[in-house]
């Protein structure tokens, strides 16, 4: 009996040693892969907060200065360069939506699957790892001020605003949202360095 326990103990010790040596060998190659999700969540949250604040403030001041129809150019994340933040990281940031206004914001397959998951399980921020990228995906929820351009025509969207939207985006689908609705997602892709 004692012998059996001893043997088991030896097997346990040697497998721990084996595991330890295994992970230290891999460590150098996989330095980037072992960065935990929490680090990407944190970076993503900061980038989105920065981009969203800039976007929202620019929208509000553009609306205040020249009205809604003029302000439509300001609901565009591309207008705000992120290069000053996180220089050295190779990232892309975009928004997409199941009911999009700009066809460039049509969801890709990963985004589509994530949006479908949000419908079933409710929206929440996610980290998804694919081959050579880490994806940060955060739901975008409609706020009252957004309804000026994404709400119900006539009720929330003034006819003159809708006219400009239609001229610029003839196939617009991004209307009839209500406050609190899931509008779409922020998607930041971090490229893993090899």
**Least distance between ligand HEC and beta carbon 86 (Å):** 22
Nearer to ligand HEC, 135 or 150 (CB): 150
**Least distance between ligand HEC and beta carbon 76 (Å):** 4
Nearer to ligand HEC, 112 or 132 (CB): 112
Residues 6+ apart with CB under 8 A from 123: 139, 141, 182
Burial annotation 37-75 (CB, 10 A radius, 16+ → b, else e): eeebeebbeebbebbbebbeebbeebbeeeebbebbebb
* Cβ-contact 18, 10 below 8 angstroms: no
Instruction: Pull the structure tokens for residue 100.
Output: 């999009």
**Least distance between ligand HEC and beta carbon 141 (Å):** 7
Nearer to ligand HEC, 95 or 135 (CB): 95
Give the interface with ligand HEC as residue ranges (CB under 6 A).
56, 59, 68, 71-72, 75-76, 95, 97, 100-102, 105, 140, 142-143, 145-146, 148-150, 174, 183-184
**Least distance between ligand HEC and beta carbon 129 (Å):** 24
Chain position carrying tokens 């565009």: 76
């Amino acid at each position: 009996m004692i012998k059996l326990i001893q043997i088991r103990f030896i097997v346990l010790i040697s497998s721990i040693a084996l595991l330890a040596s295994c992970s230290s060998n891999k460590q150098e190659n996989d330095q980037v892969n072992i960065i935990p999700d929490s680090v990407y969540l944190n970076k993503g949250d900061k980038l989105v907060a920065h981009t969203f604040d800039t976007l929202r403030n620019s929208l509000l001041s553009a609306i205040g200065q020249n009205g809604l129809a003029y302000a439509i150019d300001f609901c565009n994340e591309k207008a705000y360069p992120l290069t000053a933040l996180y220089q050295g990281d190779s990232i892309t940031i975009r928004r997409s939506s199941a009911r999009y206004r700009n066809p460039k914001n049509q969801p890709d397959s990963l985004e589509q699957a994530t949006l479908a998951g949000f419908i079933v399980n409710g929206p929440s921020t996610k980290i998804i790892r694919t081959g050579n990228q880490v994806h940060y995906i955060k739901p975008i929820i409609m706020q009252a001020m957004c309804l000026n351009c994404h709400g119900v025509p006539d009720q929330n969207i003034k006819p003159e605003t809708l006219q400009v939207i239609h001229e610029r985006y003839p196939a617009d689908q991004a209307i009839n949202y209500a406050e609190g609705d899931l509008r779409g997602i922020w998607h930041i892709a971090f490229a893993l360095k090899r």
